[in-house]
Structure 1
Amino acid sequence: MSVNAEPGDRFFLWDSITGMVPLADPVTVPDEADDGGALVVYFSATGNTESIAGYIAEAAGADIFELTPVEPYTSADLNWTDESSRVVMEYEDESLRDVALTVTTPENWDSYDTVFIGYPIWWGIAAWPVSSFVEANDFTGKTVIPFCTSSSSGLGESGALLEQAAGSGEWLEGMRFRGSSSQDEVSAWAQSVVGTSENESTGDGNTLDV
């Protein structure tokens, strides 16, 4: 026999002498746990990472959040062949890499249990605005999957360094994409890692990819 019960419902037992006798305790129906959502967080200097982030968000059914520096990077800022450019000066002086963001914490941050973090590779590590985001937020209870865009450099130690900076969360091995990577390629990867799958990407680099 199946019984449809609602929270707080009471059941009764028929007794031939006393009549209807209530059972001792009301039926308790636990609320179903809400599944946390997915979020794609990214910084894109020239649009390559933005495209990949969009593919991932669509494939994973995730929300998307762009990291925007208070002082945006210009083309001149990103000229890594110019020793006086902003990005070169920041590379040479780590104290300059604390890049202020217009918004540091996404809305409803606590509701996400899966977070993709995307960035271009700058001198073998994640572009510094991403570090500003990671250091400012608590990743406890979240699964974090880094991804990067680069024409030549691999993910390298960028994900591990971000994990170290975060100090919380379960960080999975990430993936490197070229700016020209197809939507099918990116979507297949995103769908494979939503949940429990881990993907590996290795490589080193010492140049700037945007």
Structure 2
Amino acid sequence: MANTLILYFSATGTTKKAAEKVAKKLNADIAEIHPENPYTDEDLNWHDETTRATVEQKQEHDGRVPIKDDLPSLDNYDNVVIGHPIWWGIPPRLIATTIDRLDLNGKHLATFGTSSSTGYDRAQSNIERTIKENNYNVELNKGNVLNSQSVIDSWLNSLSLAR
């Protein structure tokens, strides 16, 4: 069986729970993506146009948010799965920073989001654009919003990962 790493960012704990379920099903290692400056509850108030997350998400498509330099090496992994919340229809900008920092060449990549109201189409396009900007040779799977165990199971069965 190929080695799999689950990387996730979770500001409220929802994505962490989904990432842990995915890791358990795939018998994968798991690691958290840490923003350089952690988000506070006030930073995440999407009703306020001046909050940090709102301002970050409304940047141009090439906007980035700094992350801590503590990502694991991908040398021993064939598969990488990145989980994130969906903010304003797309991944938080730090996910693009994460993709920029990883060497995904030759890897099988899958991404998923958590959201109570948004699908994954815009997030998928955002991930695809970031992969293209980095000129990665990677097999990118179709992502999904994981909001129940049955959706997680179905999505995992749809993935084309190294075995």
Q: What TM-score, normalized to structure 1?
A: 0.68
Larger radius of gyration: 1
1:116 and 2:85 matched: no
1:87 and 2:56 matched: no
1:140 and 2:105 matched: yes
Instruction: Return the offset for 1:130.
Output: 0.9
Instruction: Return the offset for 1:36.
Output: 3.7
Instruction: Return the offset for 1:100.
Output: 1.4
Matching residue's letter, 1:65 = A
Matching residue's letter, 2:83 = G
Which of residues 139, 145, 151 is equivalent to 1:176? 145
Matching residue's letter, 2:142 = E
- Number of equivalences: 158
Change (3 A) 1:36 1:177: closer
Equivalent in the alignment of 2:37: 71
Q: Which runs of 5+ in 1 are unaligned?
A: 1-34, 197-210
- Give identity over the alignment, percent: 35
Change (3 A) 1:41 1:133: same
- Kept after mapping to 2: 8 A contact 1:43/1:118: yes
Instruction: Return the offset for 1:76.
Output: 0.1
- Kept after mapping to 2: 8 A contact 1:43/1:50: yes
CA root-mean-square deviation: 2.2
Q: Which runs of 5+ in 2 are unaligned?
A: none
Q: What TM-score, normalized to structure 2?
A: 0.86
Partners of 2:25 and 2:103 in 1: CA distance: 25
- Kept after mapping to 2: 8 A contact 1:60/1:194: no
